[in-house]
A = this chain, B = another copy of it.
Amino acid sequence: MSDLSIGQVAQRFGVRTSAIRYYESEGLIPKAMRRAGRRFYEAGIFDHLIFIRFALRAGFHIGEIRTMVRGLSSATKPGERWRAVADKKLEELDRQMAELQAKKRLLQQLVKCHCPDLAHFARMQRKAEA
């Protein structure tokens, strides 16, 4: 049988075995078949892993990924259902962008101010707040 052990899958894909077991425990990949208690995988597992890697890189959390792959057995096409999730995530990323911009603005204040001491800085802040 050309089935792969968890170690082989992990090595080929470039993750640790612990990660794969974790994905299984979290329901991101189907339960592997067992032989003598050990997990064995068919080539299709890589499709799942590719999706997980993609989704993590795109900023999805484990729970969101679970939601996306759980729906795989449903009638509608994955692409359709994923779009809604992706759109929400895009909004979230935009919020994070705005936060980063806000931080940059603050930092530029700090760079501009040649503060002689804490009290001076605090007065400046209080003025800015008001």
Contact = CB atoms under 8 A, between A and B. Distances in A.
Interface of A: 44, 46-48, 50-51, 54, 57-59, 69, 72, 77-80, 82-83, 86-87, 89-90, 93, 96-97, 100, 102-104, 106-108, 110-111, 113-119, 121-122, 125-126
A87 B89 CA distance: 30
Contacts of A58: 103, 106-107, 110
A106 to B, nearest CB: 4
Nearest to A49: B122
Contacts of A96: 100
A122 B78 contact: no
Nearest to A118: B47
A115 B77 contact: yes
A50 B82 contact: no
Contact of A104 (B93, B102, B106, B117): B93
A106 B72 CA distance: 20
Contacts of A119: 44, 47
